[in-house]
Amino acid sequence: MIPLLHDFTDETVLVVGGGPVGARKARTFARESRTVVVSPAFGEREFGDAELVRAAPGPGEVADWVDRLDPALVVAATSDEAVNEAVERAAREAGALVNRADRSGGRDAGSVVVPATVRDDPVVAAVATGGAAPALSKELRRRIESEIDGAGPMADLLAEIRADLKAANVDPTDRRDAVRAVVGSSAVWKALQEGLSKARQEADRIMEATDD
């Protein structure tokens, strides 16, 4: 399986099933999409900004919900296999992506897996195990959390530098060398802790040195 990234901004995600797994998926997708959770019960769980709708569609009724909400992705997270099957069928018929939370192993096109995710926007890292060991994905996600910490501001700094170098018509090879020097500099990473402008000063110093 090959990880791809998908922007759900301005899209709808439908989660069928409001147990711990449905709640976790709802929190994930509600970050950037309109997320609707359909379930007869929700317990005392945290669903982020998702909209909660109390209903228990049977296998024959799931397609109505998909047609009504027109989601880009449907998550099948009920404890009822027949309902989860119907969710997958309805999603496919509507041309939506589907995430079966009750399945591991190989998948047909359009059937996607939700990986364990670490983010420091706009940077994101994802871990998956081909469905073999989700607990391992979770453990590795915890371990790489500290590696990713601070990468977001570094991405912002590099984006600014790339744009400036492009605007100044610096040729691609020199641009690449400059960006590589900045991202590899521990002084720049350290300066980022004091803010973007301090880091930019340090980056400019490094780039002048690589110029020679």
Ligand X SMILES: C[C@@]1(CC(=O)O)C2=NC(=C\c3[nH]c(c(CCC(=O)O)c3CC(=O)O)Cc3[nH]c(c(CC(=O)O)c3CCC(=O)O)/C=C3\N/C(=C\2)[C@@H](CCC(=O)O)[C@]3(C)CC(=O)O)/[C@H]1CCC(=O)O
Ligand Y SMILES: NC(=O)c1ccc[n+]([C@@H]2O[C@H](COP(=O)([O-])OP(=O)(O)OC[C@H]3O[C@@H](n4cnc5c(N)ncnc54)[C@H](O)[C@@H]3O)[C@@H](O)[C@H]2O)c1
The contact set with ligand X (CB under 6 A) reads 24, 28, 99, 101-104, 113-116, 128-131, 133-135, 137-138, 141
DSSP string, 22-85: HHHHHHHHHTTSEEEEEES--TT---TT-EEEE----TTTHHHHHHHH--SEEEE--S-HHHHH
User: 139 vs 208, which CB is nearer to ligand X?
Assistant: 139
Residue 178 lies near ligand Y (rule: CB under 6 A): no
Q: By rule CB under 6 A, what string of x and - marks binding of each residue 125-164 to ligand Y? A: ---------x------------------------------
User: 114 vs 199, which CB is nearer to ligand X?
Assistant: 114
Number of residues that bind ligand Y (CB under 6 A): 21
Task: State both tokens at 23.
Answer: 């709640």
Which one-letter amino acid corresponds to residue 172? Answer: P
Note whether 70 and 56 are within 8 A (CB). Answer: no
Query: Least distance to ligand Y from the beta carbon of 199, Å?
Result: 38
Residues 68-87 that bind ligand Y (CB under 6 A): 77-80, 83
Residue 31 CB neighbour total at 10 angstroms? 15
If contact means CB under 5 to 8 A according to the sort of partner, which of ligand Y, ligand X, none does residue 35 touch? none
Query: Least distance to ligand Y from the beta carbon of 36, Å?
Result: 12
Long-range contacts of 56-64, Cβ-Cβ distance < 8 Å, separation of 24 or more: 57/16, 57/83, 58/83, 58/86, 59/83, 59/85, 59/86, 60/86, 62/16, 62/86, 62/87, 62/90, 63/89, 63/90, 63/93, 63/94
User: 129 vs 155, which CB is nearer to ligand Y?
Assistant: 129
If contact means CB under 5 to 8 A according to the sort of partner, which of ligand X, ligand Y, none does residue 80 touch? ligand Y
Which one-letter amino acid corresponds to residue 41? Answer: A
Query: Least distance to ligand X from the beta carbon of 86, Å?
Result: 18
Residue 115 CA to residue 211 CA, distance in Å, equals 41
Residue 184 lies near ligand Y (rule: CB under 6 A): no
Of the candidates 143, 78, 147, the residue with the CA atom closest to the CA atom of residue 116: 143
Residues 5-64 that bind ligand Y (CB under 6 A): 16-22, 38-41, 56-57
Query: Least distance to ligand Y from the beta carbon of 119, Å?
Result: 19
* Positions that interact with ligand Y (CB under 6 A): 16-22, 38-41, 56-57, 77-80, 83, 101-102, 134
